[in-house]
Amino acid sequence: MRLTGLEIFPVAPPPPGWGGRYWLIVRLTTDTGLTGLGEVYASAVGPAAMEAVITDVFTRHMEGQPPEDIELMTRRAYSSGFTQRPDPTVFGAFAGLEMACWDILGKACDRPVWQLIGGRMNDRVRAYTYLYPEAHHDPTGFWIDPEAHGEAAAARVAEGWTALKFDPAGPYTIRGGHAPALADIDLSVRMCAAIRAATGTRADLLFGTHGQFAPAQAIRLARALEPNDPLWFEEPIPPDNPAGLAEVARATSIPVAVGERLSGLMEFQAALDAGARILQPALGRAGGIWVGKKIATLAEARGAQIAPHLYAGPVEWAANVHLAVTCPNILMVEAIESPFHDALVTGRPRVEQGFVAAPGAPGLGITLNDDVARAHRYTGDRLHLQMQEGPIDWANGNTWAGGASD
């Protein structure tokens, strides 16, 4: 069995765009007729350029290869450009293609992917959700409204969720790391307090940032948050400063979580060395399922846990679940329970009462609805997520919107 064909589907979820502006879903075909789905989470270049990178990686490193030669193809993508390090764009392209190989292999063996990478460790996996506006909330004002966040949190806990993520510390900006405004620190504390008051001990608080702050300023924010006891402090500083990450990890009692922006095993090793104790690989950027399994094993040896990241579509979600089923050190998986996910693929793992069960179907267990994918084709040139270019407003407060719709 050999890899012979590639299709790429740039899919735009309808507003409000939970999961990003668009998703890059790939489908590989073999000479035996089997197909497999994968998803690329790499957003540093526009979609047309990314499609060209995906095509180049496939034709250069994978076409004509048996899909089971995962390690060989991984090393080609990692090293053949005379790099010997993970370029996030190239390795992200490979990551989605690699997922599709596992989907093919599972179908060929008539086994779910988790049975091929270690077997069932967990019958079900804890899931967490981001907090989004309820129908009666102002969709713009929600993001800086602690009372509305408390209401959304109470609603999610009533559905069975036991962990909730939110990120009130200011807009995402290219000017990282910076100092948060005092108003943003105050809002962050009030947001934590409102969610804690609404949920009590029924849900863990997952405090998100996006690589925003200078180390000393991240420490200042963390100390303000500590009385509300968040389960993690996510990506407090830019990802290229392990020494700064170590400074933050030493200075706060909140476990530091990182991983959405990291690619390849050694970047996660550096994060562990710096004191991160929760790793959040985005499998469509980190290198795929096999690299994800290595990251989980590396973390296990260091007493760390993993919580695969998801701000993408339902294919990466399925890959995350299959990996999580096999890991003794899984903490939880990020979930996006969107009706559009259900429309785009059939067989998607579903969260029930805050947990997702081990999938039973062969491969990743999902099938793409081609008609829906084509009807929602992304035709723009923006990035999956866009960082603000201007600085934050230290004087008048900051507002920003969730989602990524145009």
SS3 190: helix
Rounded to whole angstroms, what are the CA distances from 316 to 139, 273, 373?
27, 27, 15
pLDDT one-digit tens code per residue, 143-156: 999 999 999 999 99
Rounded distance, CA 52 to CA 50, Å? 5
pLDDT one-digit tens code per residue, 4-36: 999 999 999 998 888 999 999 999 999 999 999
pLDDT of residue 59: 98
pLDDT one-digit tens code per residue, 203-262: 999 999 989 999 999 999 999 999 999 999 999 999 999 999 999 999 999 999 999 999
pLDDT band at 173 (very low <50, low <70, confident <90, very high): confident
SS3 38: strand
Backbone phi and psi for residue 136, each to the nearest 5 degrees, phi listed first: -90, 0
- HSE-CB of 42 using CA atoms within 13 angstroms: 32
Q: Which pTM was predicted? A: 0.97
Rounded to whole angstroms, what are the CA distances from 248 to 148, 172, 241, 320?
30, 19, 11, 28
- Check if the beta carbon of residue 222 is closer than 8 Å to that of residue 236: yes
pLDDT-above-90 percentage for the chain: 87
pLDDT one-digit tens code per residue, 154-169: 999 999 999 999 999 9
State the CB neighbour count (10 A cutoff) for residue 120: 11
- Check if the beta carbon of residue 54 is closer than 8 Å to that of residue 39: no
Per-position DSSP letters for 3-34, written without gaps between them: EEEEEEEEE-PPTT-TT-S-EEEEEEEETTS-
pLDDT of residue 33: 98
- pLDDT of 278 strictly over 50: yes
pLDDT one-digit tens code per residue, 340-386: 999 999 999 999 999 999 999 999 999 999 999 999 999 999 998 88
Q: Which residues contact 91 (CB under 8 A, 6 or more apart)?
A: 77, 78, 263, 264, 285, 286, 287
Chain length of the chain: 406
- pLDDT of 333 strictly over 70: yes
- pLDDT of 403 strictly over 60: no
- HSE-CB of 173 using CA atoms within 13 angstroms: 20
Q: Which residues contact 178 (CB under 8 A, 6 or more apart)?
A: 212, 213, 214, 217, 391, 392
- pLDDT of 405 strictly over 60: no
Nearest to 385 by CA among 15, 40, 42, 6: 42
pLDDT of residue 393: 87
Averaged confidence pLDDT in the chain: 95
Nearest to 348 by CA among 319, 323, 325: 319
pLDDT band at 402 (very low <50, low <70, confident <90, very high): low
pLDDT one-digit tens code per residue, 182-217: 999 999 999 999 999 999 999 999 999 989 999 999
Rounded distance, CA 195 to CA 154, Å? 8
Rounded distance, CA 153 to CA 205, Å? 10
pLDDT of residue 182: 94
pLDDT one-digit tens code per residue, 74-133: 999 999 989 888 899 999 999 999 999 999 999 999 999 999 999 999 999 999 999 999
pLDDT of residue 351: 98
Rounded distance, CA 75 to CA 98, Å? 12
pLDDT of residue 394: 85
- Check if the beta carbon of residue 160 is closer than 8 Å to that of residue 354: yes
**CATH architecture of the domain formed by 115-362:** Alpha-Beta Barrel (3.20)
SS3 92: helix
Nearest to 259 by CA among 306, 291, 313, 321: 306
